């Protein structure tokens, strides 16, 4: 799935480029949306492995976040995210983003598997 974001003033750091924390928030959110759709439940971020920031992004740029589902296990779902600008330049790679499906008491619950993701 591809998500797009427009970089505006509140997203910048003191040097006038996209704040890394904002990009992490966007990636966490879009992977979380995918995990929620997949599991049909509330999810919590459990683990993010290796974020590699390769290029900067500037005011007015549009960034594309491509989220890929890697695997579903008992209660967890793993994704990768690749971030590029619209010219295709690689901005960042998120190697593994892991979400856990949780119940109303925030306890892990089994992910409801469908034919598409087993």
Ligand X SMILES: CC(C)(COP(=O)(O)OP(=O)(O)OC[C@H]1O[C@@H](n2cnc3c(N)ncnc32)[C@H](O)[C@@H]1OP(=O)(O)O)[C@@H](O)C(=O)NCCC(=O)NCCS
Q: Which residues of this protein are in contact with ligand X, per CB under 6 A?
A: 44-47, 73-76, 98, 100, 102, 106, 108
Cβ distance to ligand X smaller for residue 52 or 71? 71
- The count of other CB atoms within 10 Å of the CB of residue 4 is 11
Cβ distance to ligand X smaller for residue 39 or 57? 39
Q: Tell the smallest beta-carbon distance from residue 73 to ligand X (Å).
A: 3
Q: Tell the smallest beta-carbon distance from residue 33 to ligand X (Å).
A: 15
Cβ distance to ligand X smaller for residue 83 or 100? 100
Q: Tell the smallest beta-carbon distance from residue 93 to ligand X (Å).
A: 17
Residue 77 Cα distances to 1, 45, 49, 106, 112, angstroms: 15, 10, 14, 16, 11
Cβ distance to ligand X smaller for residue 89 or 103? 103
What DSSP string describes 14-54?
TTSBB-HHHHHHHHHHHHHHHHHHHHTSEEEEEEEEEEEE-
Task: In whole angstroms, give the CA distance from residue 92 to residue 50.
Answer: 10
Q: Tell the smallest beta-carbon distance from residue 20 to ligand X (Å).
A: 16
Mapped onto helix, strand or coil, the DSSP state of residue 60 is: coil
């Amino acid at each position: 799935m591809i998500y797009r974001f427009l970089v505006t003033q509140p997203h910048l750091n003191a040097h006038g480029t996209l704040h890394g924390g904002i990009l992490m928030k966007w990636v966490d959110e879009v992977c979380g949306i995918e995990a929620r759709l997949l599991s049909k439940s509330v999810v919590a971020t459990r683990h993010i492995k290796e974020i590699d920031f390769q290029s900067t992004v500037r005011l007015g740029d549009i960034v594309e976040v491509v989220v890929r589902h890697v695997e579903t296990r008992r209660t967890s779902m793993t994704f990768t995210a690749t971030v590029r600008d619209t010219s295709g330049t690689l901005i960042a790679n998120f190697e593994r983003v892991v979400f856990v499906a949780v119940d109303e008491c925030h306890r892990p619950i089994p992910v409801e598997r469908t034919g598409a993701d087993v």
